[in-house]
Chain A
Amino acid sequence: MFSFWGKGLLKGLSVTGKVIFRKNLTEEYPLVKPNIPSQWRGGFAYEKDKCIACGICVLECPNDAILLVKEKDENNKNVPKEYKINLGYCLSCGLCVESCPVNCIHFTKEFESATYLKKESVLDLFNNQNLEAERSTYGKPVEKKEEKEEGIL
């Protein structure tokens, strides 16, 4: 092949020129919801009936984002009285979910967690357990095989 000044430029143009006719890859996000993977670490769901108020999640949290107030019930067992996660401090590291001995705290597949007010970023999970949200499988023992998701490419 003979070479001349500007050959590289023309080659470059040929690459970008080809791409013009390819399919675009944009996800039109607010109109089309993204496909959230099953392990997603997003919002939280909390089963207060299961919770034994052991406080391991509070100890495991690197950023002190969890507030747990416990009380004794009639059988002299610890039960939670208040359970809050401050998403403003949360790193979404998942150490609390992994460490829970009774599997009462779950990640959900929620991902739009922006709020208008700072105080709204504190999740009062005791009063709003958020059980209806779709749960993620993060930190849960592998039991059932999730249905296959679409290929990545």
Chain B
Amino acid sequence: MEFLDNIFLYGTSIIRSIITWIGFDPAITNMIMAAVYTVAILVICTLVALFYVLYERKLAGFIQYRPGPNKLGPFGLFQTVADAVKLLTKEDIVPRNADKALHFLAPLFVFIPPILALGAIPFGNKLVAVDLNIGMLYILAVTSLSTIPFFLAGWSSNNKYTMLGAMRAVSQKISYEIPVIFSVLAITMIAGSLNMSEVVGMQGKLWFVFVQPLSFLIFFIAGIAETNRAPFDLPEGESELTAGYLTEYSGMKWALFFLAEYCSMFVFSAMATTLFLGGWLGPVLPGWMWFVLKVHVLMTVIIWIRWTFPRIRVDKLLEFNWKILIPASILNIFATGIGVYLFNNFF
């Protein structure tokens, strides 16, 4: 049990000892280890994207009386790989009047925020690439960068539909960051720390979701909007804006956007797990397995929601944010503050 729990830590320490045994000096060893972590995060990113694309298609199929992809490999496991290969071989079409450089860069940028954010998320006890003191702040900061690639994509394509999609993306993402931050703030007030691992450690007795249910709800809703998932997938809005900011993308560039969506969903679910659902804590199973399980449940709910709800309208979306979510989260912060004060002084 102990061994399973720490299997990845053992792995990294073995790699570290091999490198020192070869005889590099400590500075270089640390750099190599950083590279190892980066590769590990990239692998996680890829696996997550590949798995959840398939999982979403399967679940969508089940919801719609279909089996989903089931021809390639057992349960259609290789379907995403086959799709990726197919997309790689597709012609890459760039509109004549597009800003070619930005059009090329946008799909590359879109992967950066989730990868950066994954670095500070604890997958298990001590299983974190960089255990930052200000982990929460860092993650919120890097995920807020994800607005830029969407706007780049929409702007550079030089198309009215993509432009509309980009405008929607900017207004939606920027305004929905506020409730996300506010709901995290409530957690910070209770935990008194910005360190992700410490926040998890404090949830041994009671998960924060039971202490802060409203905050969790706001975080969850705003998170779906942040990751552009239905019913908040307005920037894409395929029945209104053909494909929104993605209209002029084809082949692998499009696939990168598509895969990045799943990565940012994963990051968001991982954050929710860490902050509200007790991270890696849980009986019997190893910590990282609990973490993956909780994230998986959240991902399932997000996918389930996507295949049930209609798309919300753009003005209603912003109205919902500014008139309901933000006042509610501010009230929640007040209530939390009073609660924390009472708790510290009278109990």
Interface residues of A (CB under 8 A from B): 9, 12-13, 15-17, 19-26
A12 vs chain B, min Cβ distance (A) = 5
| A13 CA to B308 CA, complexed, in Å | 6
Q: Is the CB of A13 within 8 A of B66?
A: no
Please give, as numbers and ranges, the residues of chain A lying within 8 Å of B305 by CB-CB distance. 13
Q: Is the CB of B304 within 8 A of A19?
A: no
Q: Is the CB of B304 within 8 A of A24?
A: no
- Closest residue on chain A to residue B305 by CB atoms: A13
Q: Is the CB of A25 within 8 A of B65?
A: yes
| A147 CA to B125 CA, complexed, in Å | 67
Partner of A12 from B62, B64, B65, B309 at Cβ < 8 Å: B309
Q: Is the CB of B61 within 8 A of A19?
A: no
Please give, as numbers and ranges, the residues of chain A lying within 8 Å of B61 by CB-CB distance. 24
Interface of A: prevailing SS: helix
Q: Is the CB of A17 within 8 A of B65?
A: no
Size of the chain B interface, CB-CB below 8 angstroms: 13
* CB-CB contacts below 8 Å: B20-69 with A: 59, 61-67
- Closest residue on chain B to residue A17 by CB atoms: B304
A-B contact count (CB 8 A): 33
A150 vs chain B, min Cβ distance (A) = 18
Q: Is the CB of A24 within 8 A of B63?
A: no
| A136 CA to B62 CA, complexed, in Å | 36
Partner of B63 from A9, A16, A23 at Cβ < 8 Å: A16
| A19 CA to B64 CA, complexed, in Å | 7
Q: Is the CB of A19 within 8 A of B309?
A: no
Q: Which of A17, A22, A24, A25 has the most CB of B within 10 A?
A: A24
Interface string of B61-79 (1 = CB under 8 A from A): 1111111000000000000
B337 vs chain A, min Cβ distance (A) = 26
Q: Is the CB of B304 within 8 A of A13?
A: yes
- Closest residue on chain B to residue A22 by CB atoms: B65
List the 3 closest A-B pairs by CB distance, nearest first.
A20-B62, A16-B308, A25-B65
- Closest residue on chain A to residue B307 by CB atoms: A16
Interface string of B286-319 (1 = CB under 8 A from A): 0000000000000000001101110000000000
Q: Is the CB of B308 within 8 A of A26?
A: no
Assuming A16-B63, A20-B62, A23-B65, what are 17 further A-B pairs, CB within 8 angstroms?
A9-B309, A12-B308, A12-B309, A13-B304, A13-B305, A13-B308, A15-B308, A16-B307, A16-B308, A19-B62, A19-B65, A20-B59, A21-B62, A24-B61, A24-B66, A24-B67, A26-B65
